[in-house]
Amino acid sequence: MPPGKRNRGRQGGFTYLGLLALIVLIGLFLAAAGEVTRTAARRERETELLFIGHQYRDAIARFYQQNHRFPLSLAELVGTGTEGPLPARFLRRIYPDPMTRSTDWVLLPAPDGGISGVASASAEEPMKKAHFDDGDAGFVEATKYTEWAFLYDPRAPVRAPGTPVSRPPPPPNG
């Protein structure tokens, strides 16, 4: 048999194995990219949960300051207030929980009735463990999202709703 024909048969097997190895590597890279994307999406949902939770807390604070009582439902924050010719709106709409993607918030009862805050219904463990605002300092020890309670306490120091709880100090000039 001519020498060229023997080599082609053996090389075909090595090419096949090389192609299989390349496919495995591509699969591993795609799996890693999928994990990074999933983690980024979850961190984004956590950031959204913090934003929406603060919106609910601020809306409850404005409702309490205007009506001198806590709202009885989330719908009351959307536009069933009694002040003025039009109903007062403290929220644009009832926002869904970013972690569960539904409006099944855990409603936290106020001492005298009504709702003093909300929490996520998700029992997943949070990825964020530090660097919370002063008003959310209790979130550091949380082992699940339901422990991220966005409560309004009328006895807490007063701040303008919608403003950050804490700001980093300005950088030194020099």
Contacts of 76 (CB under 8 A, 6+ apart): 63
User: Which segments within the chain are labelled E, that is strand?
Assistant: 106-109, 115-119, 149-151
pLDDT at residue 88 in the model: 76
Per-residue model confidence (pLDDT) at position 167: 43
Distance CA 141, CA 147 (A): 9
What pLDDT is attached to residue 87? 67
pTM beyond 0.85: the answer is no
Residue 14's pLDDT is what? 82
Report the candidate in 39, 41, 47, 68 with the shortest Cα–Cα distance to residue 136: 47
Mean pLDDT per 10-residue interval, the chain, length 174 residues: 54 80 92 88 93 95 92 86 63 93 93 93 92 88 93 76 48 52
